[in-house]
Amino acid sequence: MTNISNHTLNASVSQPNYLRSELKSRIVHLGFGAFHRAHQGLFTDEVARRSQSDWGICEINLFGGEELITSLRAQDHLYSVAEKGAQSTDVKVIGSVTESLHPSLDGIDAIIEKMAEPQVAIVSMTITEKGYCADPATGRLDKNNPLVVADLESPSSPKSALGYIVQALKVRRERGLSPFTVMSCDNVQENGHVAKAAILEFAKLLDAELGAWIEANVTFPCTMVDRIVPAATEETLREITELLGVEDPCGIACEPFRQWVIEDNFVAGRPDWNIAGAEFVADVVPYEEMKLRMLNGSHSFLAYLGYLGGYAHISDTMTDAGYRKAAFDMMMLAQSPSLKMPEGTDLEAYAKLLIDRFTNPSLKHKTWQIAMDGSQKIPQRMGGSLKFHLDQGSEFKWLAAGIAGWMRYVSGVDEQGNEIDVRDPMATMLRSVCDQHGLNVTVVPALLGIEAIFPADIGRNLQVINAVSSAYQSLIDNGAKATVAAL
């Protein structure tokens, strides 16, 4: 089979200029998904291109993705990233991946042993919100999560990311090896703190001494990651084949923009990702809030109301003047006032940049894809700013419309009566609440009353109930396009 590792690629393709054999697996990464390939994998490759770095990555998928790992191995762990601007596309072959593992291909022990190797300094993760097994209402470990229950019963054959990390740290401690840093790259508020809280609670339930050792020795830096990376489609892969001159089943397309802000808190060293444009800071939280509220919050707003309005992609919503204006107002009037940013941050320039990014017609970012897992995302993307406006007594109609759009979406039926494939860890519960009420405004207080999503001070607040009810009624009476235009 010809592939990216043994084929002459098109002349325009940028390839690694370093000896890949010099790289060591100093990072173990959980979750070889689209975002990681276009972000951390690419940053690590660029550091190797620009310095004498020996930082390589061992990729691990814990759930599914066996085919992807098999394909990656077949092409010597090389893959491609196509950075698609509105005018032109740059294609890079990424060489930073040194090896890969999968529990169903290699067994659980092989993964724990790899994480316990002395040179491993960082275990990083893109495992999505649900991978942390945290209760969204409390932020604490969800002890009833089936993965947590199973891992506490048989810790030496873990299933969850938390179980693997704690087991690997236990082995390192027993062997007198130094610990590694646990670095979350997920789009989760204060992701390092979330990872730390879940891992410590899990470890202490298993073994109080081990928990205390992890607490004293392991660091959990927070990170803010930003790059729009749509899931790969057959169309994307066909296009990558043309650009490369050969097929790459691991290839991914993304926008040219990228941002990575990292709390500089690494117990066993780190790559100089700043060489590739990352920023190391003392406090990531302000940047994280800016991104979660302005980018992700308006993304969710466009995902639900755009899908209901018949728009398949985010760039399609931007061709509608009503959606474009509402998204900008959502950023500037609903989200930016709630932020506390370092001096000199230009939030209006950031909002304009976001609108340009959303408009990029080369990126086919599906509204349906962004709409997934809303029960986990809405609290982080809209909850903090909603609380701010309630405290200030200021206008929050854009947030109310976004939440109403989510409620209308999780009913599972669109404005034409077609079924919506709702993907959410709470989908069954949400659907049953919606089915009890039908498409009726009485569903609003019922959904707002789910404390795992909306804390009581928001979910039972009459102002919130009234504002969301009014937006929801408009969606029923007038549809999404007219509701958005009226904002």
Where are the domains positioned within the chain?
A: 20-281, 285-486
Strand ranges, E, within 111-180: 122-125
Q: Please give the share of the chain, as a percent, with pLDDT higher than 90.
A: 91
- SS3 (DSSP) at 25: strand
- Whether the pLDDT of residue 199 is over 90: the answer is yes
- Whether the pLDDT of residue 4 is over 90: the answer is no
Cα–Cα separations (whole angstroms), residue 250 to 60, 69, 205, 377, 487: 14, 9, 38, 27, 41
Which of 6-10, 57-61, 87-91, 378-382 has the highest average model confidence (pLDDT)? 57-61
Give the tokens for residue 73: 């191995």
CA distance 161 to 183: 12
Q: How confident is the model at residue 386 (pLDDT cuts 50, 70, 90)?
A: very high
Q: Using an 8 Å Cβ cutoff, are 234 and 198 in contact?
A: no
Q: Residue 480: its pLDDT value, please?
A: 98
Q: How confident is the model at residue 3 (pLDDT cuts 50, 70, 90)?
A: confident
Q: Which CATH class is domain 285-486?
A: mainly alpha
8 secondary structure, DSSP code: P
Residue 60 β-bridge partners: 30, 101
Q: Which residue has the higher pLDDT, 139 or 464?
A: 464
Q: How confident is the model at residue 135 (pLDDT cuts 50, 70, 90)?
A: confident
Q: Using an 8 Å Cβ cutoff, are 307 and 246 in contact?
A: no
Q: Which amino acid is at 11?
A: A
275 secondary structure, DSSP code: G
CA distance 76 to 4: 8
Q: What is the pLDDT of residues 72-89, one digit of tens each?
A: 999 999 999 999 998 899
Q: What is the pLDDT of residues 417-440, one digit of tens each?
A: 999 999 999 999 999 999 999 999
Q: Residue 231: its pLDDT value, please?
A: 85
Q: How buried is residue 224: exposed, middle or buried, by Cβ count under 10 Å (0-12/13-18/19+)?
A: buried
pTM of the model: 0.84
Q: What is the pLDDT of residues 236-245, one digit of tens each?
A: 999 999 999 9
- Whether the pLDDT of residue 147 is over 50: the answer is yes
Q: Residue 2: its pLDDT value, please?
A: 60
Determine which of 137-146, 207-216, 272-281, 432-441 has the lowest per-residue pLDDT on average. 137-146
User: CB 188: neighbour CB atoms within 10 A?
Assistant: 24
Q: Concatenated DSSP letters for 370-381?
A: HTTTHHHHHIII
Q: What is the pLDDT of residues 435-466, one digit of tens each?
A: 999 999 999 999 999 999 999 999 999 999 99
CA distance 483 to 468: 12
Mean pLDDT across the chain:
95
Q: What is the pLDDT of residues 317-332, one digit of tens each?
A: 999 999 999 999 999 9
Q: Residue 1: its pLDDT value, please?
A: 44
Q: Residue 423: its pLDDT value, please?
A: 96
CA distance 183 to 29: 9
**CATH of the domain spanning 20-281:** 3.40.50.720
Q: Using an 8 Å Cβ cutoff, are 463 and 390 in contact?
A: yes
**Residue with tokens 């290839």, as numbered in its chain:** 251
The distance from CA 2 to its chain's CA centroid, rounded to whole angstroms, is: 33
Q: How confident is the model at residue 388 (pLDDT cuts 50, 70, 90)?
A: very high
Q: What is the pLDDT of residues 8-52, one digit of tens each?
A: 899 999 999 999 999 999 999 999 999 999 999 999 999 999 999
CA distance 347 to 331: 9
CA distance 89 to 82: 6
- Sequence-ordered list of residues with C-beta below 8 angstroms from that of 368, at least 6 positions apart, any chain: 303, 307, 312, 421
CA distance 388 to 382: 10
Backbone dihedral angles phi then psi of residue 262, each to the nearest 5 degrees: -130, 130
- Sequence-ordered list of residues with C-beta below 8 angstroms from that of 41, at least 6 positions apart, any chain: 29, 57, 79, 81, 94, 96, 97
